[in-house]
Amino acid sequence: MDPEEFRRAGHAVVDWIADYWKTVGQRPVTSQDPPGAVAAALPAGPTEQGEPVEAVLADLDRVVVPRLTHWQHPGFFGYFPANTSGPSVLGDLVSSGLGVQGMLWATGPACTELETVLLDWLADLLDLPERFRSTGRGGGVIQDSASSATLVATLGALHRASKGRWRTDGIDRRYRAYTSTQGHSSIEKAARIAGLGADGVRAIEVDPATQAMRPAALRAAIEADLAANVVPAIVVATIGTTSSTAVDPLPALGAICAEYGVWLHVDAAYAGAAAVCPELRWSHAGVEYADSYCFDPHKWLLTGFDCDAFWVADRGELIEALTVMPEFLRNAATESGAVIDYRDWQVPLGRRFRALKLWFVLRWYGVEGLRAHIRSGVALAERFAARVTGDDRFELAAPHPFSLVCFRLRAGDEASAELLGRVNATGRVLLTHTRIEGRYALRLAVGSPLTTEQHVDEAWELLTAAADDLLVG
Ligand code: PLP
């Protein structure tokens, strides 16, 4: 494909995406086809002769789009949002076009420096502690996901807890990670990959009313481990848990971590984006205790997957834990000590120019546009929660500080599960579920930039109509 062919085909692809966004709301949110439908619609192998891009676009319409879960659909209320936006897609397109691999400063000076500056901007935007800035001892980096951020934090914590022996001796004794019973599954995965073993993570109990970690229970667990000669390595606290967006009490947890010298990682994968709004920053009280912190712009900040923003307070510790220097990567810039080589801040060697999509997003929306997006999600969730509390048949299952509402039918778990199945079967919306204190709850998470009051009201109408049928029949 020469540049002129690319120009023509590229315009056709951009047109196709714009048309998809304009019409996605008219489609069923989830695929109606059984497993295997995509494979059955594809030929046995690739064509001998090349084909025009139009042929691929036709197959996107015929084979792919009908079998998607449409995450950008205005009726998509499942899981947490995975926003994208026009500027994000365009930034990603430029990144793909440049094809830069920024493993070292030397292999991508602008890739590295733009990322460093943007992460400093983002730290300002979220009002994160000064010590995360690259201008001091800290700094930020883009990881592919919050899961990778937690893994990297765990490795840094092991390096610290073992006083550097982890690099040479591996897991030389028993180390422990702590999170609440509501902590994300990626914490257990990180501990497993890091070699902490089956009981590497202690799940600390939560307050039943708030679903937030109990500091006294954390202290007791650390004390018990110390008494058993197990080394407390890392506490992962959450701002906005996956089930119900509970906020762990960072000031109390941070003080305990400081007292015992344990690495505190704060996982704000979804709710970190809320801190762009000053009125929601209460959720970040105590973040100054954190050794590392991450949130996913790819969840609620209009930046397409993958983009996790991760900061450390002491970049030297992380680099020491992860750096490996083979001869073929040696270069004058690295040896000068004056540059950042982001390969030392992550698991893979190679890395894409992900800062571009973030740059496009920050510049297109500006701070005001980002705040408007978050505020709209919070207001729509509030609107929906008011409907729930106004109907005697329903109840809220947890507080809703951000844009997720957990609720259920008072009639019980079975009725609530049946209700979820019925509304999702309409194809107009997708909600998911969880269990809170053992009881079934539906989750409605607002986040698509296409979602308006009309879509939230439609979701409520579908729910009440299904409840009418269900509770009578
Ligand atoms: N942490 C929390 C609190 C989450 O809610 C999620 C995903 O929903 C994750 C981590 C994992 O995110 P990622 O897909 O970026 O690894």
Measured in Å, residue 54 CA sits from the centre of ligand 1 at 36
Tens of pLDDT, residues 187-237: 999 999 999 987 999 999 999 999 999 999 999 999 999 999 999 999 999
Kindly report each contact of residues 362-367 with a partner whose C-beta sits within 8 Å and lies 24 or more positions away, as own/partner: 362/118, 362/121, 362/122, 363/87, 364/85, 364/86, 364/87, 365/85, 365/87, 365/302, 367/125, 367/276
Predicted ipTM of the assembly: 0.98
Say if residue 473's pLDDT is above 70.
no
Measured in Å, residue 2 CA sits from the centre of ligand 1 at 40
Q: Which atom of ligand 1 is nearest to the CA of 270?
A: 5
Using a 6 Å CB cutoff, which residues line ligand 1?
80, 145-147, 184, 186, 238, 241-242, 267, 269-270, 296, 308
Nearest alpha carbon to residue 401 among 420, 414, 382, 421: 382
Q: Is the dihedral of CA 261, 267, 271, 272 positive or negative?
A: positive
Q: Which fold has domain 100-352?
A: Aspartate Aminotransferase; domain 2 (3.40.640)
**Beta carbons of 441 and 416 less than 8 angstroms apart:** yes
Nearest alpha carbon to residue 459 among 419, 421, 437, 429: 429
User: For the residues of 279-318, what is the DSSP string, one character each?
Assistant: GGGGGGTTGGG-SEEEE-HHHHSS--SS-EEEEES-HHHH
* Residues of the chain above pLDDT 70, percent: 100
In the sheet that holds 263-267, the strands lie side by side as: 139-143, 308-312, 292-295, 263-267, 231-238, 175-180, 201-204
In whole angstroms, give the CA distance from residue 271 to residue 372.
15
Across 271-280, average pLDDT: 98
Tens of pLDDT, residues 427-471: 999 999 999 999 999 999 999 999 999 999 999 999 999 999 999
Tens of pLDDT, residues 93-126: 999 999 999 999 999 999 999 999 999 999 999 9
Torsion angle of alpha carbons 128, 132, 134, 140, nearest 10°?
A: -90
Measured in Å, residue 309 CA sits from the centre of ligand 1 at 12
pLDDT at residue 472, rounded to an integer: 84
Name the H helices within 126-184. 146-161, 165-169
Q: What is the DSSP letter of 69?
A: -
Domain boundaries, the chain: 3-68, 100-352, 360-472
**Beta carbons of 103 and 341 less than 8 angstroms apart:** yes
Burial label, 406 (beta-carbon count in 10 A; 0-12, 13-18, 19+):
buried
What is the pLDDT of the chain when averaged over all its residues? 97
Q: Residues 6 or more apart from 163 whose CB is under 8 A from it?
A: none
Tell me the Cα Rg of the chain.
24
Measured in Å, residue 270 CA sits from the centre of ligand 1 at 7
Which neighbouring-strand residues pair with 444? 405
Which neighbouring-strand residues pair with 176? 232
Tens of pLDDT, residues 57-88: 999 999 999 999 999 999 999 999 998 999 99
pLDDT at residue 83, rounded to an integer: 87
**Among the CATH numbers 3.20.20.370, 3.30.1490.20, 3.10.129.10, 1.20.1340.10, which is that of 3-68?**
1.20.1340.10
Tens of pLDDT, residues 145-162: 999 999 999 999 999 999
pLDDT at residue 198, rounded to an integer: 79
Tell me whether domains 3-68 and 360-472 share a fold: no
Question: Domain spanning 360-472: which CATH class is it, in words?
Answer: alpha beta
